[in-house]
Amino acid sequence: MLKRIIILLAITVLIFNEQIVCRNLLSTIRRTRQLQPQPEEQPSPSPYSFNIESVDENGTVSRRQEQGDEQGRVTGQYSFQNPQTGIYRIVSYTSDENGFNARVETNEPGTITSNPANVEIISAAVQEA
């Protein structure tokens, strides 16, 4: 767990530092050339796909997979399952011309089947009386 936290912190620091360097470089270029800020051209999306799986010290399995296409549409899924408790969560999502939509399947205590804010929640949790 500590290893994951250290890796996430390192990635966060790298991304933050890269953003600062890029911002400073753009600011310097604009001042030097005395240019008015121009609308930035957005590069065309490139297709991609990835899968990752990990198991923590308690045996909880975490998975994530995602793919994007040349139109910028993204579909993916992430999940976890704890073999000791049997608790699981599976989140499937899409992001496209219709916005971001997610479907959550879980048996986490306290959850109920519902549909708030374009997120469909399917709960198999045992409801307490």
Residue ranges of the domains in the chain? 1-40, 42-129
C-alpha count within 13 angstroms, C-beta hemisphere, residue 39: 3
% of the chain surpassing 90 pLDDT: 40
- Of 26, 22, 65, 69, give the one whose Cα is nearest residue 44: 69
Q: Find out whether 102 and 91 touch, Cβ atoms under 8 Å.
A: yes
The residues near 113 (Cβ < 8 Å, ≥ 6 apart) are: 121, 122, 123
Whether the per-residue pLDDT at 3 is higher than 80: the answer is: no
- Look over the chain and give the mean of its residue pLDDT values, rounded to a whole number: 81
| Contacts with 122 (C-beta within 8 Å, 6 or more apart), sequence order | 103, 104, 105, 106, 113
| Average confidence (pLDDT) over 73-102 | 93
Model confidence at 82: pLDDT above 80: yes
For residues 2 and 69, the model is more confident at 69
Distance between CA 28 and CA 43 in Å, rounded?
22
| Residues composing the chain | 129
In the structure encoding, which two tokens stand for residue 97, read together? 């011309």
Which positions ≥6 away from 96 have C-beta within 8 Å?
A: 71, 72, 73, 74
DSSP H or E stretch at residue 23:
helix 2-33
pLDDT of residue 5: 66
Which tens digit of pLDDT belongs to each residue from 10-57?
566 555 556 665 566 566 666 665 555 667 787 888 999 999 999 998
Longest dimension (CA), the chain: 70
At 48, the amino acid letter reads Y
pLDDT of amino acid 42: 79
